[in-house]
Amino acid sequence: MELKVKTDIQSLKKEGIPIVIVGAVQESEAVANACKEIGIKVSAVCDSEPRNTEDTLRGLEIIHSPTLPKKFPKARFIIGCQHVQDVVEQLTGYGYDEFYSPLGLIENYDISKFEHSVSNSYMEKRLAVCKKTHRAYFNEEKTYMRSIDVMVTTKCSLKCNNCSNLMQYYTNPEHTDHKKILDALKIIDENVDEISEFRLIGGEPLMNKGWADIVNGISKKHPDGQIFIYTNGTIAPKEEQIKSFNSNNVNFIITDYGKLSRNVDKMTDLLIKYNISYDRSPAEDWVDCSTITHHKRSVKDNEEVFKQCCVKYVYTLLEGRLYRCPFIANAANLNAIPDNPANYVDLFSGKDNVKQQIKRLVKVAKFFPGCDFCLGRPYDPTSNLGYDGKGMIPAGQQVSKPIPYKMYK
């Protein structure tokens, strides 16, 4: 892979072609602050999601990425987000060729000197992952996984009609035993150089009574990694569970569904009491991507679906198998797509080439057979590139019973 991202951030102090920060994400706030502090003039921020352009970031206009060439025919880009290769591929397609890593800006960023839209402790965690991701980009020898979704249960306290993780299809949802999860993670550890963050998800992860044991097991093994627990605020954790976290790498991501999130205040009060970092945000509209259907696309079309996908680097651990995305993981677990070993790595297969299989999953794949059953999940749902869905849809709409689907034997 040709590395197209530069590290000489000081050269951006020179006047010339406009400078744009890529990604209307929390980390970009720190990048914008650091730029201002050392005298780098930033003209705007760009983002692939149209809804993110309705606001500003540190007073900077946020521009929808596909429209950039109209406003900035030429530009220099500081990649503020974690999806380095995706950014390069997308913006190269628009005709740009000058990209910079923010490492020189955030390596020694003093969080206490600035205000942020999130707590300083949470910003610190996001920057830690961002820095590791950018460092990994410049080390092609390593097998690096920015993030792994650890699915601890397929049970959920809500039943959302359009859940992108396909919980609405499960008729017999189950918890995964915490020992099986930790054993699987041990195998991954032995065959991967680095994982920056572990995301405990479901379903609703707090429904699995062993969720805190899983968190502590991961934390003990990865004291420098960040653990993010994704919850819908319906279940308040027990105080003894929160007290058991004896490190500062545990964080909660709370999606607030209003009245449905009946225990969200109780949860946040407990997290504050024990100084656990968290982010609480209202549920926003979702991208329509949960329909399972066999498209029978060409290889070229499936490659486009994969290229545009915003979760193609969200590795998912489910029932002893490692996948590249949550859709394929759950569709395979539901037997809603044909079983195809090309979609996953079976960590308990007993084969001696697990390292090679994981490397293939991480570095080689251009798409997976399971992609042909997905509508696509693009950064930009207003585009028809690699996407057959309806675009943005309301979040959290409930169904009374599981949705029927075609099963493969």
Give per-residue pLDDT as tens, 367-391. Answer: 999 999 999 999 888 888 899 999 9
- CB of 12 closer than 8 Å to CB of 19: yes
Give per-residue pLDDT as tens, 4-60. Answer: 899 999 999 998 999 999 999 999 999 999 999 999 999 999 999 888 898 999 999
pLDDT at 360 > cutoff 80: yes
Q: Mean pLDDT across the stretch 110-131?
A: 93
Q: Mean pLDDT across the stretch 307-317?
A: 92
Q: Which CATH number fits domain 143-393: 3.20.20.80, 3.20.20.70, 3.90.800.10, 1.10.3720.10?
A: 3.20.20.70
pLDDT band at 237 (very low <50, low <70, confident <90, very high): very high
- Sheet with 5-6: strands ordered across: 5-6, 99-100, 76-79, 19-22, 44-47, 60-64, 56-57
* pLDDT in the model for residue 1: 45
Percentage of residues of the chain with pLDDT beyond 90: 84
Rounded distance, CA 232 to CA 236, Å? 10
φ/ψ of residue 8, rounded to 5: -75, 80
φ/ψ of residue 180, rounded to 5: -65, -40
Give per-residue pLDDT as tens, 256-287. Answer: 999 999 999 999 999 999 999 999 999 999 99
- CB of 237 closer than 8 Å to CB of 229: no
Give every CB contact of residue 160 below 8 A, 6+ residues apart in sequence: 167, 168, 395, 396, 397, 398, 399
Q: Identify the burial level of 377 via C-beta atoms within 10 angstroms of its C-beta, where 0-12 means exposed, 13-18 middle and 19 or more buried.
A: buried
* pLDDT in the model for residue 3: 62
Give every CB contact of residue 108 below 8 A, 6+ residues apart in sequence: none
Q: Which CATH number fits domain 5-134: 3.40.430.10, 3.40.50.2300, 3.40.47.10, 3.40.50.20?
A: 3.40.50.20
Give every CB contact of residue 138 below 8 A, 6+ residues apart in sequence: 3, 5, 7, 101
pLDDT band at 140 (very low <50, low <70, confident <90, very high): confident
Give per-residue pLDDT as tens, 150-160. Answer: 999 999 999 99
Q: Mean pLDDT across the stretch 86-101?
A: 92
Domain map (residue ranges) of the chain: 5-134, 143-393
pLDDT, the chain, mean: 94
User: Which tokens sit at 2?
Assistant: 């040709």
φ/ψ of residue 316, rounded to 5: -130, 125
pLDDT at 247 > cutoff 80: no
